[in-house]
Amino acid sequence: MPTRDPLASLYTTAQVRAIDRAAIDRCGIPGFELMRRAADAAFACLRRRWPDARRIGVLAGSGNNGGDAFLLAELALRAGMDVDLVALTGDSSGDASRARASFVEAGGRARLAGNSVAPVGDVLVDGLFGTGLKRPLDGLAAELVGRSAGRPVLALDVPSGLDADTGTCTGACVRADATVSFVAWKRGLFTADAIDQCGARELATLDLPQAAYEGIAVDAELADACIGRALPPRRANVNKSRFGHVLALGGDHGYGGAIRLTGEAALRCGAGLVSIATRAAHVGAINAARPELMARGVDDAAALAPLLERASVLALGPGLGLGDWGRRLFDAALTSGRSVVVDADALTLLAEAPRAWSADAVLTPHPGEAARLLGSDVASVQRDRFAAVRELARRHAAVVVLKGAGSLVGAPDGRVVVCPWGNPGMASAGMGDVLTGVIAALLAQGCNAWDAARLGVALHARAGDEAAGDAPRGLVASDLFVPLRRLVNGAGA
Ligand SMILES: NC(=O)C1=CN([C@@H]2O[C@H](COP(=O)(O)OP(=O)(O)OC[C@H]3O[C@@H](n4cnc5c(N)ncnc54)[C@H](OP(=O)(O)O)[C@@H]3O)[C@@H](O)[C@H]2O)[C@@H](O)CC1
Ligand SMILES: [K+]
């Protein structure tokens, strides 16, 4: 059995709770000891991140997440800090009530949350709700979260209000500067709303023995960008025919830029040859701007056949449009038997008429396109991105990239990886066109669909981060070309 990498393995909350149970029942570590370890780890995190904090405000819920908070508050008291603890309820249950008593014995005082009560401190510790969240925050809990906004926050396990399975918050939610998560990564910390709510993420495994994780399948994994295994360094004695021929199809009138970005991304990621099948009107501009691209006018679809014949991989859809021209290209491409990346307008056409593939296929929908493919709506897709990507991959028997903050890549067999990179600057025109070219280039160089998609997404997001630095606003898609070239050669892996 392959070794589980705790830093890359993602679990559902039910699975993490099962690991907690196994640690207690099978490994004999008392629940209260786990709580102590959680508080120790979180307090160490607080000291490291906010070394000058002298006063901390602590929010404690009634469950075990609150128990972690009481024990952390006790540690802070013992370290000589001022502690203002606001408890959501007058009592706690199970191990948490023991934690509460321990805090009081150490001289701590809990203020009860009520009208206008808000914790005071240089840093707030959020221990309201963790994996036991059952419904959107409302009433006092929601008010408390609102009153605590605007100060640095360390969240315990999960920012309160965030659904740690899906990464969504449907009501009030703590916006943390850092989240220290316990035992194992909850999968929902890495996608959707979680990207804004978690801040920096840290994992504290609480020294659980390996046995606690046994028998509990990993639900998903974090993407890696280790290109080396899938795409080893090139030998010297090679020529361009070894690295495939990408044909990018799209760019209806007015959208020539989209297909040029796809083609150039494929070149920059190492495809041996890149052709573009587009409107004749765009050919001159593409050739002038990037002479290495072989742009051909295919206003007459008959001109497409020899291009398809020569290509090894297709990148289908950027700027394709939904008119007759686009539909003819779409039909010709999908009956060609070539490996294909299906993006943009081609996904809309696919939603109208689903196809079976005779070669590797990677679909790259954003949530709107995913909703069309699933016959649902964007809100439903975003409510559970894991379920959406799995369903799409199964239904289309293809590898699927569900784009958006915390992109997911799903395979028909249920595997999912989550991309932990990317930034809001990448929510801009042309970024998807570039991703399509990146994945097509990796396919052309011999990666299978799964490797091409998961590595392509990782390289694209990391290139976006490198290009954006600390200035995401104004990032443009072609800014990614230089870092992509570095990353596809193994830099920073
Ligand atoms: N088990 C272990 O070994 C370890 C666990 N650890 C820690 O425990 C955490 C899980 O603890 P947990 O299971 O007690 O759940 P938790 O998140 O505290 O919430 C439950 C409470 O919240 C309430 N409630 C829920 N939703 C609500 C809402 N919207 N609005 C209002 N109330 C709401 C719910 O009330 P109920 O609805 O049941 O009346 C219940 O009282 C985990 O995240 C980690 O931090 C660590 O110490 C490591 C070892
Ligand atoms: K919390």
Task: pLDDT band for 110, please (50, 70, 90 cuts).
Answer: very high
How far does residue 457's CA lie from ligand 2's centre (Å)? Answer: 30
- Cα-to-centroid distance, 357 and ligand 2 (Å): 45
Ligand 1 atom at minimum distance from 135 CA: 29
Homologous superfamily in CATH for domain 9-218? YjeF N-terminal domain (3.40.50.10260)
Q: Ligand 1 test: best mutation among 129, 138, 163, most atoms within 8 Å of CB?
A: 129
* Complex ipTM value: 0.97
Question: Ligand 1 atom closest to Cα of 158?
Answer: 43
The residue contributing the CA closest to ligand 1 atom 9 is 65
State in Å: Cα 160 to ligand 2 middle.
Answer: 4
Share the mean pLDDT of the chain: 96
Average pLDDT over residues 339-344: 98
| Stretch among 2-6, 300-304, 323-327 having the lowest mean pLDDT | 2-6
| 163 touches 169 (CB < 8 A) | yes
- % the chain with pLDDT above 90: 91
Q: CATH 3.40.1190.20 in the chain, residues?
A: 227-488
Pairing between strand 416-418 and 220-222?
Answer: parallel
Q: Whose CA is nearest to atom 43 of ligand 1?
A: 130
| CA 235, chain centre distance (Å) | 34
Q: pLDDT tens-digit profile of 373-399?
A: 999 999 999 999 999 999 999 999 999
Gap between the Cα atoms of 261 and 5, Å rounded: 36
Can you give the pLDDT at residue 428?
A: 96
Asked if residue 146 lies in contact with residue 161, where contact means CB atoms within 8 angstroms, the answer is: no
- The string of pLDDT tens digits covering residues 66-87 is 999 999 999 999 999 999 999 9
Residue 314 contacts residue 249 (beta carbons within 8 Å) = yes
CA of 279 to the centre of ligand 2 (A): 54
Q: In testing the pocket of ligand 1, which one of 20, 64, 70 has its CB within 8 Å of the most ligand atoms?
A: 64
What local confidence, expressed as pLDDT, does residue 4 receive? 82
Residue 335 is which amino acid?
T
Closest C-alpha to ligand 1, atom 36 = 134
Q: Tell the residue nearest (CA) to atom 33 of ligand 1.
A: 133
List ligand 1's pocket residues with C-beta within 6 A: 20, 31, 34-35, 38, 61-66, 68, 129-135, 137, 141, 156-158, 182-183
The ligand with the least distance to the CA atom of 139 is: 1
Among candidate residues 40, 62, 70, the one with its CA nearest the CA of residue 205 = 40
Residues of the chain within CATH 3.40.50.10260 domain(s) are: 9-218
- Predicted pLDDT of residue 2: 58
Give residue-wise pLDDT tens across range 166-225.
999 989 999 999 999 999 999 999 999 999 999 999 999 999 999 999 999 999 999 998
Please write the tens of the pLDDT for every residue from 2-30. Answer: 578 989 999 999 999 999 999 999 999 99
Q: What is the pTM of this model?
A: 0.96
Please state the CATH superfamily assignment of the domain spanning residues 227-488 in this structure.
Ribokinase (3.40.1190.20)
Q: What is the pLDDT of residue 347?
A: 98
CA angle, residues 55, 61, 63, in degrees to nearest 5 = 130
Higher pLDDT pick, 492 / 208? 208
Ligand 1 mutation target, pool 131, 145, 168, 185, most atoms within 8 A of CB: 131
How many angstroms is it from 97 CA to the middle of ligand 2?
17
20 Cα nearest atom in ligand 1: 3
Q: Which ligand is nearest to the CA of 19?
A: 1
Task: Write a three-state SS string for the chain.
Answer: CCCCCCCCEEECHHHHHHHHHHHHHCCCCCHHHHHHHHHHHHHHHHHHHCCCCCEEEEEECCCHHHHHHHHHHHHHHHCCCEEEEEECCCCCCCHHHHHHHHHHHCCCCEEECCCCCCCCCCEEEEECCCCCCCCCCCHHHHHHHHHCCCCCEEEECCCCCCCCCCCCCCCCCCCCCEEEEECCEEHHHHCCCHHHHCCEEEEECCCCCHHHHCCCCCCEEECCCCHHHHCCCCCCCCCHHHHCEEEEECCCCCCHHHHHHHHHHHHHCCCCEEEEEECHHHHHHHHHHCCCCEEEECCCHHHHHHHHHHCCEEEECCCCCCCHHHHHHHHHHHCCCCEEEECCHHHHHHHHCCCCCCCCEEECCCHHHHHHHHCCCHHHHHHCHHHHHHHHHHHHCCEEEECCCCCEEECCCCCEEECCCCCHHHCCCCHHHHHHHHHHHHHHCCCCHHHHHHHHHHHHHHHHHHHHCCCCCCCCHHHHHHHHHHHHCCCCC
Residue 18 Cα to ligand 2 midpoint, Å, equals 19
* pLDDT for 245: 98
Annotated binding site: 64-68, 126, 130-136, 157, 160, 258, 319, 366, 403-407, 432-433
Distance CA 479, CA 77 (A): 50
Atom of ligand 1 nearest to the CA of 24: 3
